[in-house]
Chains A and B, each alone.
Chain A
Amino acid sequence: MQSIIHVEKLTKRYRKTEKAAVNNISFDVHPGEFFAFLGPNGAGKTTTISILTTTLAKTSGNVTIAGYDINTQAKEVRQNVGIIFQNPSLDLHLSAEENIRLHVNLYGVYAYKPLFRLMPQEYQNQVLEMADYMGLREDLFKPLKTFSGGMRRKLEIIRGLMHKPKVLFLDEPSQGLDAVSRRDLWSYLRKVSKTQKTTIFLSTHYIEEAENADRVCIVNRGQIVFLGTPAEMKNRLMEKYLLLDADNRSDLCSQLEPFKPETTEDGKFKVCFEQQTPQQILSQIKTPLSLMELHMPTLEEAYMNLIENNTEETAI
């Protein structure tokens, strides 16, 4: 499959700094994919997005977006991407619709007209339809100053999609939003990703936002430390195990023999399960148990594990 985003050995070193903000990273994103770019603050996420969206020059490496080179075909790249910035980029002096209109004019989708009603019918229908979809129809012509943080983010999504980009970049879009607004935002984005077949490139440091992504790319100190599906991340990095104990430990030990248990420092038995289910293991035990704990890794644990154990050598 042809990649919609192709990044090869990308490096960015800011002036007057010795360490690279982004250090020799390579990855591909496929069309229609929901790609999460995850990392702690200062990992190089915003730098990478800025380079991919052509607002920052790279130090070295090759990057193509929708088949266009970011260096030599920057305008074509910009035409094919939509961006939701970390800091809101709306004009608060204007109404929601005026912000959308300026966007389509800047992208050359429609010629400038000073009033909504003077714009082509196609534009009017598209705006009203998307505003309906995002629940902003009632507020479309109200000044932006009256909008909540969540409403502004929704408006930025409408605006970012108006020129029908192939890739929508979201740079920590839920920063500063409350839990309800964040949940709504993700529900809208999933809808958009499915209905418009837009590739979503999400940069975030909230691990739960990456849970529904098709693939996760974790960066730390400018390097990629993991690239794969959320399930792969959990499976590869964290053990699933049962922690068992009984008053009669010798009996329990003999019954667990086929499962090759490990013994913890305090004498409990740790039984990893990859092939079997916990129920299959438990059904083999006749000894009354004094402890039974099921340990299933969460994405957050896997992420923390990756970040805490990340050294130069572990980067991929």
Chain B
Amino acid sequence: MLPLQKELNATIVIAAREVLRFFKDWKTSLAFSFMFPVLFLGILGGSIAQNLGAGLGYNYLQFAFLGMVAATIAMNTMMSVTSLVEDRENDFTQEIFVAPISRYSIILGKIIGGSITSILQLFAFVLVALVMGIPVGLPAIGWILLLAPIICISGGTLGVLVASIFSSSPKTADKGVIMFVFAQMFLSGALIPVKNSSGVLGALAHAMPMTYLIDLLRGLVYQGTPFYGQIIMYNPLLDLLIVAAISIASFVIGTFLFVRSERNR
């Protein structure tokens, strides 16, 4: 096998393993796929919609659905990558690290595998939304499917950066990742509008990479509607550029730091 072919093969294998695990452990995968939409969209979103949604002037549940879809699939992919740190010394990850392949292939394989399983989980979200009677609409589903790979890759690259931060202390990685995920979830406008946030909260909202991903998806779905100006923070093209810049920087810096710290313990 040629060197490049070998790296490509390794990337496919690592990605395939993620998908295979998803289907092998289908009961857990299914439970987790439905747990997030039911919890955040059904219970939390439903409660906010009933009590506060009326004064917004737009359908809050549709707003929350788009935010949660983007945040959840990005975070799932991110956690798939950060698992490289969490279980480095305990399971199959050790085997991956001693294989004669580039660290870049490992990370790329994890991102692709995590992305595929995240997109599979997307269907649970749509199903819950339809059951709840949220007006999703075919164009919105089309935009979600079109943007899903970008959202996943962006989440995955963010995962590489987070993994590199925690790579020197795998024991604290799981707690650190959860803290990071929740900060993204609540400060990026996935559930609660942040367009008019100011002061510290406004600054934090703008510092969250997820903010731009969510704004991008909503910008495309809400374009041409009367609520566009009320919900959207930036032009979708600007969001896309910011997302691309953050993703490239996260991947390059994260991979460099991760590979270095992984050997220089």
Given contact pairs A15-B265, A57-B264, A108-B9, A78 touches B20 in the complex (Cβ within 8 A): no
* Contact partner, B92, options A53, A83, A91, Cβ 8 Å: A91
Given contact pairs A78-B99, A79-B100, A106-B96, A14 touches B265 in the complex (Cβ within 8 A): yes
In the complex, the answer to whether A56 meets B9 with C-beta atoms within 8 Å is: no
Chain A residues lying within 8 Å of B21, measured Cβ to Cβ, are 91, 93-94
Give the docked Cα–Cα distance between A107 and B6 (Å).
Answer: 8
Chain B residues lying within 8 Å of A91, measured Cβ to Cβ, are 17, 21, 91-92
Q: Is B13 an interface residue (CB 8 A)?
A: yes
Q: Is B52 an interface residue (CB 8 A)?
A: no
In the complex, the answer to whether B1 meets A75 with C-beta atoms within 8 Å is: no
In the complex, the answer to whether B10 meets A105 with C-beta atoms within 8 Å is: yes
Give the docked Cα–Cα distance between A88 and B95 (Å).
Answer: 10
In the complex, the answer to whether A93 meets B13 with C-beta atoms within 8 Å is: no
Give the docked Cα–Cα distance between A105 and B102 (Å).
Answer: 14
Task: Report the interface size class on chain B.
Answer: 20 to 34
Give the docked Cα–Cα distance between A116 and B6 (Å).
Answer: 19
User: Nearest chain-B residue to A15 (Cβ)?
Assistant: B265
Q: Is A123 an interface residue (CB 8 A)?
A: no
User: Nearest chain-A residue to B90 (Cβ)?
Assistant: A87
Give the docked Cα–Cα distance between A54 and B102 (Å).
Answer: 13
Q: Is A76 an interface residue (CB 8 A)?
A: yes
In the complex, the answer to whether A89 meets B95 with C-beta atoms within 8 Å is: yes
Q: Mark B1-36, 1 if CB is under 8 A from A, else 0.
A: 100011001101110110011001100000000000
User: Nearest chain-A residue to B12 (Cβ)?
Assistant: A112
* Contact partner, A55, options B14, B17, B263, Cβ 8 Å: B263
In the complex, the answer to whether B100 meets A78 with C-beta atoms within 8 Å is: yes
Chain B residues lying within 8 Å of A111, measured Cβ to Cβ, are 1, 5, 9
Total interface residues on A, CB under 8 Å, equals 34
Q: Is B180 an interface residue (CB 8 A)?
A: no
Given contact pairs A93-B24, A102-B17, A108-B1, A56 touches B263 in the complex (Cβ within 8 A): yes
In the complex, the answer to whether A56 meets B20 with C-beta atoms within 8 Å is: no
Q: Mark A82-114, 1 if CB is under 8 A from B, else 0.
A: 010101111111100011001101111001101
8 A Cβ contacts from B249-265 to A: 262-265
In the complex, the answer to whether B6 meets A108 with C-beta atoms within 8 Å is: yes
User: Nearest chain-A residue to B28 (Cβ)?
Assistant: A93
- Min CB gap B190→A, angstroms: 30
- Min CB gap B103→A, angstroms: 10
Chain B residues lying within 8 Å of A57, measured Cβ to Cβ, are 263-265
Chain B residues lying within 8 Å of A55, measured Cβ to Cβ, are 94, 97-98, 262-263
In the complex, the answer to whether B16 meets A114 with C-beta atoms within 8 Å is: yes
Extra pairs beyond A89-B91, A99-B92, A106-B13 (8, CB < 8 Å):
A15-B265, A76-B100, A83-B98, A91-B91, A93-B25, A103-B99, A106-B10, A112-B16
Closest 4 CB pairs of A and B: A108-B6, A78-B100, A106-B99, A105-B13
Hey, which bits of chain B sit against chain A, CB under 8 A?
Answer: 1, 5-6, 9-10, 12-14, 16-17, 20-21, 24-25, 89-102, 262-265
Q: What would be 26 A-B contacts, judged by CB atoms less than 8 Å apart? A: A55-B94, A55-B263, A56-B265, A57-B264, A57-B265, A75-B102, A79-B100, A85-B94, A89-B91, A89-B92, A91-B17, A91-B21, A91-B92, A93-B24, A94-B21, A103-B95, A103-B99, A105-B13, A106-B96, A106-B99, A107-B100, A108-B1, A111-B1, A111-B5, A112-B9, A112-B16
